[in-house]
Amino acid sequence: MKLCRSLFKLSISCFISIFTVISSNPVTANNSFFGKISLSPNSETVKKTVTGYTGGAFSLSSVRKRDANRNLCIGFADPKPDHILVLEKDFPKLNIKVSSGGHDTTLLIVGPDKKTVHCGDDTGKSKDASINRRNWKAGTYQIWVGSFKARTRKTYRLSLQN
């Protein structure tokens, strides 16, 4: 009987440990709330628009404090990315913009090598976030659209254009 209790306690302990590891991993490679976006620069102009909504209390600065351009990575979202972006070829230029009607949104994009990170906040006088960069490498990118305040749910359009 003593052996059964010990084995039971060990089993419960292992289950809790495994569950903790699985549930604490906030980033999943090809899983997102609003689906996958595939882009290929086959024509002169590439334009794509998708929709979603902000929300969550996961601090985007826990992924990275700043990007390579020293932009702060701020805002709150869900641990799971909102969108998965697949660039089928290299893009010389790409502009990614949030349109939420002027609500305070943020952007975090993690590249295929997990070292490439782009962060965006206000765009000019607008509180909506955007990222306009050159030399995007082919691969899979994770995109989070956040809000400046935790647990703020706002609908948005995410526009991608070269």
The pLDDT profile of the chain, 162 residues, written as one tens digit per residue, is 554 444 444 344 433 333 333 333 344 445 888 989 999 877 677 899 999 999 999 999 999 999 999 999 999 999 999 999 999 999 999 999 999 998 999 999 999 999 999 999 988 788 999 999 999 999 999 999 999 999 999 999 999 999
Range of the domain at 89: 36-40+47-161
Total domains in the chain come to 1
Is residue 18, in this structure, part of any structural domain at all? no
Is residue 19, in this structure, part of any structural domain at all? no
3-state class of 143 per DSSP? Answer: strand
| Tokens found for residue 77 | 């979202």
3-state class of 123 per DSSP? Answer: strand
Place of tokens 């952007």: 107
Q: What is the pTM of this model?
A: 0.79
Tell me, what amino acid is at 75? Answer: G
CA torsion sign for 133, 158, 36, 21 is: positive
- Whichever domain contains 96, its CATH number is 2.60.120.380
Angle at 44 between CA 162 and CA 34, to 5 degrees: 45
In degrees rounded to 5, what are phi and psi of residue 81?
Answer: -60, 150
Is residue 24, in this structure, part of any structural domain at all? no
Is residue 76, in this structure, part of any structural domain at all? yes
